[in-house]
Every structure is written in C-alpha cells, then in structure tokens.
Amino acid sequence: MHFHLARVSTIAEIALPASEFALRETFSRIPGAKFEIVGVVAHDTERVMPQMQAITSDIAVLQSVLTTDSSVTDCTVITSRGNRGLFWMNWCERVREVVYLLAKNETTVLAASAATSEWQFRIQSEDRDAFSTVYESCRDAGFPVEVKNVHEQTTLLKDSRGLTTQQYETLQTAIDRGYYDIPRNATTEDLAEELGVSHQAISERLRRGHRSLVEHGLSSPKSDSA
C-alpha cells in the first residue's frame, strides 16, 4: 500500500476549567491527578468520553473520589497497574453537552486531557470557519472555553505512489506529534517510543519516506516563471 501528501485540515487546541466541565471535586481532593480520554466519542451524546486513563498515587482512592464527583454518574476500573488506571466512564448531562458543542459543524474531538484543574481539547475540521461557530456556541451556552492555538495539519492519504505503510505511519505520527513544527514539539525518540520501535528504525523510515516523497514530487515538475 502506498500514500502521498494530500489534505490539509485545521487543528484547534481549546482549554476549559474543570470547574466548568468535569472533575472539579476530584481535582479539589486530588490536585496532582492527571487524566487522558481514550477513544473520544464526538458525535454520540449518550457515550461521550467512555474510557479515561488516570495517573495518580492511589487508584483505589481515586475511584472512591470519582464516585462522589457530581460530573460522574458511574465509573468502573477496567485495568490498573502501579499509579495508572483505566476507567470506564459515564458522565453527567453537562459534560455530554460540552462535547456535543465541540463536535458541531463537522468538527471532531481528537483528544481530551486534564491536569491542574484544566481540560485541554484538540479538535479538527476541514473548515477553519467552523471553529468560530464552535467557540461562539460554547460561549453562548455559558462554557468559558479559551482557544490556545490554531494551526494547519497535513494528512497523508492513500494513493498508488510514494510511501510504504510503515513510512506512512511514521510520517503521519511525526506530523501529528509536532515533529515538523517550528520549534519542534517531538523528537525521534518520542516517535520511537510511541510506535514501539527502535530509534534507528524511526530514522530510517523518515529518511526513506522523505526520499520517496521528494522523488515523486520532482518527477512531474510544474511550470514556474520564478
């Protein structure tokens, strides 16, 4: 299977205080806890953010605290190991409403995490104007969202030329994690850890992927007066 660079979408990073969204009481009692949503469900208002990974000193204590948090209607520990636990979550209506507003107008919630009493969301859209509508909808509903960053992201799409599957996976992960950003937000070591391969394998995939893209890009030059 082969791929080439094709589509550019817009990514927005949005913040919302836990006091206005979820886990306010939990942060009040365990301020050092960190949370990351696994498998965000953006368009199903009944099953938003179904799984949550937590990092804290005592998972059993955290579960007890979560059961008394007003934003949580039910939670179950799926797995736990050391200071990490994976929870199956049911959230209150207010939480579902926020996620629904963030996912309006063909936007998609890519990631959600929380630490130090603040939630961070990463949402994607093909239309930059859609983010203005999302922001206004949240503000109109009384949710004080703050836009931290908006940037363009290139997505690799299937084609009959260019990259192998491994090269595609590595390059797309590099794009997603900010390896090509200025300043760079990820290293080859970060990519190797995420993909579960050696640093050398990442370096080779990047070099070969870059070479393939350049060769295909140069194979059909366009007329240019410059």
User: For residue range 89-146, what is the model confidence (pLDDT) as tens digits?
Assistant: 999 999 999 988 888 767 888 889 999 999 999 888 877 777 888 888 999 999 999 9
pLDDT of 168:
81
Amino acid type, 49: M
- 152 band by pLDDT with thresholds 50, 70 and 90: confident
Break the chain down into helix, strand, coil percent, rounded to 5.
Answer: 35, 35, 30
pLDDT of 223:
46
For the whole model, what pTM was predicted?
Answer: 0.65
Task: Write the CATH number of the domain with boundaries 161-219.
Answer: 1.10.10
For the chain, the domains span 9-151, 161-219
Whose tokens are 């791929």? That residue is: 3
Contacts of range 108-112, beta carbons closer than 8 Å, 24 or more positions apart: 108/42, 109/40, 109/42, 110/11, 110/40, 111/36, 111/37, 111/40, 112/36, 112/37, 112/40, 112/49
CA distance linking residue 21 with residue 26, whole number of Å: 12
pLDDT cut 70: percent of the chain above it: 84
**pLDDT digits over 216-226, tens only?**
665 554 444 44
CA distance linking residue 208 with residue 154, whole number of Å: 19
